[in-house]
Amino acid sequence: MRKAILILSVFIIGLIGVITYFSIVGFQYAYIPPDEIVDNKESDKLPDVKNVSYIQDENSEELIKLGKKLFYEETFGNEVFFSDIMGMFDGTFTLTNVGKAIVKLNGQGTDNLLVEAAETVKIGDRTIEKGELIETGLDVPKGALTPLGVKFVYEKGNIKAGISCAVCHSTLNEQKEVVHGMTNRDLNIGLLVAMGTNSASYFSHTEMESIKEFISTNDRLVESTKGEKVALPDIEQLEDFVDREVMKWPKGSNDTTIDFKNNPVQIIDVYTKGDHPYGWSGQGQIGPFKGLSAAINNAHAQNMDTLSQTSISNEILKIDKELYLGTLLQNAARKRYRYDPESEEKPSEFFAKVDPTPGVDGVNTLIPAPTYPRPSYVTSVGLFSSSKGYKAWEQKNALSAFMNSLHPPKTTIKSNEKTVEEGRKVFVKAGCIACHGGNYLTNNKIIPSEEIKTDDSRAKGFQATENYFTLPSIYDPSTPVPLPENPVVQKIPLTEEQREQLRLAWAHGGTNGAYKTISLIGLNWSAPYLHDGGVAVGKDLVNEIGVPGTILRGIKPDPRNSLLAMIDSSLRKKVIKVNNENHNLKTAHVSGKGHDFWVDPTTGFTKEQQQALIDYLLKVSD
C-alpha cells in the first residue's frame, strides 16, 4: 500500500511539473508499443499496393513505419471534439481518475481499465455511484502509462484527450502484450459517450424521427439559413435520449453512420490485405489501396467530429445548418465552444470566432475534397482527414500500408492435422469456398442484403447521401497541406462492375444496400460474429446464449461455440430468440440473424464434421 501511495505521489508531482513546464508551449503524448511487447510484429512482406498513381511515397517500408506511428498517436485533432465539446471527461469519468487507475496497476497492464466514478450520476435508467468501478474496456499494456490509442494533450491550461485508430483496433493478449490490428472486443464506447456532459453532440448516431421531437419551448431561438427563427431542442431531454440510445450498444461496437438509425456495428479487425472492399457494406472500393484509404477517411469523418457534417446537414440530415450547429454546441463542455442563443449571433457566426481549424467544417484537421461540400464514393461528408505539413492523403495511405502489413498472431489451439484437413474438406463440400475462397478466404464481392438476409439497417447507412452525391475525385499525391490555391485534381475512373458494386454498397439507385464478404482470417480473435456482433455464445451452451447471455453479463464470447452458432441452425435460432427478447438490442438492430448457410444435420453434416470445420476455421490463419 505504501508503495502504491509513493508511486501515486511521484506521478502527481511529475504531472504538476510537466504541466508547469509546458504551460506555454503545450504538450502531447500517446503510447506507441515497443516491439518487445508486441505479439504480432508487422509482416516482412510489403503491402499489396494497387492504384500506384495515387501513392505518393515510393518507399513502402517508410510508409509502413509512418503508418504505425500514426495508428497509435494520430487523432486528427479529435481531442477538441471529445474533450471540449462532448465533455467525455467532465462528468463522472475523469482523466484524473484514469491516471489513478493506471497507477494502481503497478505496471501490470489490463485489458479492461477499471476507473472510479468521480461522482454519483444517473444516466438513463442506470445510476453510477461515486467510487463505483467503471468498466471501460480500455487496454493498458504492461509498463504503459496511458491506454492504447488515447492521446493526452496539454494546451492553454487544460488537459484533454483524443483517440486514435488503436483504441478500437488493437488489444492485448493474455500476457498483456499488444496485438496490432485486433478488435478491442470489450471497449465500452456507448457508456463512455453517455458519461459525457454533452453526449447530445452525438445525436445523429441515434434513432429519431426528427429533432423537432425535443423542441418543447420557443424561448431559445436561432436564425436559420433562410432567415427564419427556429427553436433549439431542450438540452436535458435530448441529452437523456442520446444517453439511453448509446447505452444500448454492446461492448465492442459503435454506431458509425449519421443516418438517424441506432445500428451499431461490431468493431472489426484491420488485417486488411486481401480483404477488400472495405467497410461492412464494402463502401470503400476505389482510390488508394483498393479503397482502404477512403474507408479510413470515412471512419474519421463520421465518428470523430460531428461538426464535420455541418455543410451537408440540410441536404442529407434534413436539419438546417444553423439549427444543427446550435444543437451540437448549446451544451458544449468548454465555455469557449458553448453557444448561447441569447447572444443573437447565428451559430455559424459564433463558431467562426472559436474554430480551431478555420476554413473547413468541424474541429478536426480536415481539408475540403475537390467535390466539397458534396460527398462521393471516397468521402461521405465531402472532406478529407489531413494534417498540416503532410501531403494530401499521405497519412491515410500510411495507415493503409501499416494495416496491410499486419497479420493475426498464431493460435494456441491444439488440434491434429487430420482433423483440420477433414475440416477443410467439409468447408469445400458445404460450399463455403464459393464465397470464402482464395488466399484471404473471400471473393472480394458484396452481397445484396436481400440475399444475405441480415438486417438491412446498416446496409442502408449511406442511402441518404444519394440526393447530394457527385462523381469521385482526389488531389494529386504531391499536393501539400494546407492546400495551394489551385490544387491539381485527379478523377478516379470507374469500371461498370465497380459502378454496380458501389451502387449496392452505398444503397443507391433504389437498392437496400449490401454487405461485403469478409475474410475469415483471424476468426479465433474476432467473436462475436456478423456485422451486428449478434452471434455470441459462451463456453456454456445452455446458459451463455446470445449477447444477453455473454457480453451483457461480462462474459467474452467463445470463438468455437460462436462459430457453431454461425453454422448450426438450431443453435442460431436460440441466439436470435434471446437477442430479440432484449428490448435494447432489438431497437439497436442487434439480432444475429442472416447468413443462413448451414453445416448441420439439416444439410447432411454430422456434429463431428461441424467440429472439424470449426477447427479448420480457427486454425486457417496459422
Segment 344-367, tens digit of pLDDT:
899 999 999 999 999 899 999 999
Structure confidence at residue 303 as a pLDDT band (50, 70, 90): confident
Mean pLDDT of 296-302: 81
Q: Say if residue 433 is exposed, middle or buried (CB neighbours under 10 Å; 0-12, 13-18, 19+).
A: middle
Q: What is the pLDDT of residues 508-553, one digit of tens each?
A: 999 999 999 999 999 999 999 999 999 999 999 999 999 999 999 9
Looking at per-residue pLDDT, the higher value among 218 and 262 belongs to 262
Q: What is the structure's pLDDT at 59?
A: 55
Reply yes or no on whether the pLDDT at 19 is more than 70.
no
Q: 17 pairs with which residues across the strands?
A: none
Q: Mean pLDDT over all residues of the chain?
A: 91
Q: For the packed helices 559-567 and 607-619, what is the interaxial angle rounded to 10 degrees?
A: 120
Structure confidence at residue 157 as a pLDDT band (50, 70, 90): confident
Q: Say if residue 355 is exposed, middle or buried (CB neighbours under 10 Å; 0-12, 13-18, 19+).
A: middle
DSSP state of 483: -
Cβ neighbours of residue 497 under 8 Å, at least 6 residues apart?
A: none
Place of cell 444517473: 122
CA–CA distance, 309 with 168 (Å, rounded to integer): 22
Mean pLDDT of 488-515: 95
Neighbours of 210 (CB within 10 A): 10
- Sign of the Cα pseudo-torsion (264, 194, 323, 347, in order): negative
Q: What is the structure's pLDDT at 43?
A: 56
Q: For the packed helices 394-404 and 60-73, what is the interaxial angle rounded to 10 degrees?
A: 100
Phi and psi at residue 133, to the nearest 5°: -85, 120
Q: What is the pLDDT of residues 361-416, one digit of tens each?
A: 999 999 999 999 999 999 999 999 999 999 999 999 999 999 999 999 988 888 88
Neighbours of 434 (CB within 10 A): 11
Is there a cis peptide before residue 482, judged by omega within 30 degrees of 0? yes
- Sign of the Cα pseudo-torsion (190, 188, 457, 382, in order): positive
Q: What is the structure's pLDDT at 51?
A: 47
CA–CA distance, 470 with 248 (Å, rounded to integer): 35
- Sign of the Cα pseudo-torsion (226, 227, 228, 233, in order): positive
Residue type, 141: P
